[in-house]
Amino acid sequence: MNLTLPDFECREVFLYAIKKALDKYDFKLYALCIMSNHVHYLIEPALGKDLPKIMHFLNWYTAMCFNRMLNRTGHFWEQRYFCDGFPPTDTKRALNTLRYIHGNPRAAQMRRSFFYDFSNYGTYDQLTFDGLTQWHPAFLGLGKTLDECAKKYKGFCQRYKPKAKLASKSNWGSRLLAGHKISRNKDKHKCSPGQLTLWEQCQVLECPQVAEVVKKFVQANRAFDESCINEI
């Protein structure tokens, strides 16, 4: 990987951006997995027409953060997001989608188990609360108790045989990142009012609110047996 912007910091920013989006818009986030060069969501907006607004906010907010962290301007993301909807009553599709999202790190051979610090699989397996996501109704229909639901979903995931993923040649949206170094000197380059306001309000990586969101999410989704978790 040829990133000068550390993966861990990218994921921290993403978690905080998701928290901001949840505070701003009315939607449910059932599944999340932040990979090295893309992100998977299972989202249910209160209104279908709100999905483009939610995704625009997430992409805009993270692009502003990353551009300021790298002292660069312009487009950050290379492609528009892809989405595919299905009815809330389609429980089979919902469970397969949950498993596909949670199985991404395993398919990419980043993890041997389904536990991954920047996926919400742990909330389903351990019945924890991470402050961002919630259980899908299809998951809650797997049993009469939460423990039974968790046990059945864990077994469902263990039977998963994902196809191997091809390695990507670019990461986090832009090949232009090569050669850039992180700098937090906001006076070095002029920036748009939107960028400046964001930076002054948040300071992104030093922001206590970011640290709080990240800590709660990671602790809720990390395996109790941390021996199966490799440090990022």
Q: Residue 125 and residue 116: Cα distance in Å, rounded?
A: 12
pLDDT digits (tens, 9 = 90+) for 97-121: 999 999 999 988 888 889 999 999 9
- Backbone CA torsion sign across 173, 176, 177, 183: negative
Give me the helix-helix angle, 146-158 and 91-102, nearest 10°: 70
Q: What is the pLDDT of residue 224?
A: 67
| C-beta of residue 124 within 8 angstroms of C-beta of residue 33 | no
Q: What is the pLDDT of residue 108?
A: 84
- Taking alpha carbons only, the member of 228, 60, 159 closest to residue 52 is 60
| C-beta of residue 175 within 8 angstroms of C-beta of residue 72 | no
Residue scoring higher pLDDT (133 or 179): 133
Angle at 179 between CA 11 and CA 67, to 5 degrees: 45
Going by C-beta distance under 8 Å and a sequence separation of 6 or more, which residues neighbour residue 96?
A: none
Q: Binning pLDDT at 50, 70 and 90, where does residue 10 land? A: confident
Read off the DSSP letter of residue 175.
G
Domain ranges of the chain: 7-222
pLDDT digits (tens, 9 = 90+) for 27-65: 999 999 998 778 899 999 998 888 999 988 888 888 788
Read off the DSSP letter of residue 101.
H
Q: What is the pLDDT of residue 165?
A: 62
Q: What is the pLDDT of residue 78?
A: 64
Among 8-12, 50-54, 129-133, which range has the highest average pLDDT? Answer: 129-133
Number of Cβ within a 10 Å radius of residue 78: 12
Q: Amino acid letter at 96?
A: N
Please state whether 81 falls in left (phi above 0), alpha (psi between -120 and 50) or beta.
Answer: beta
Residue scoring higher pLDDT (161 or 230): 161
> Which alpha helices (H) appear in 70-145, and where do they start and end?
91-102, 104-107, 121-125, 137-140
Q: What is the pLDDT of residue 227?
A: 41
pLDDT digits (tens, 9 = 90+) for 162-221: 776 665 544 444 444 444 444 444 444 444 444 444 444 444 555 788 889 999 999 999
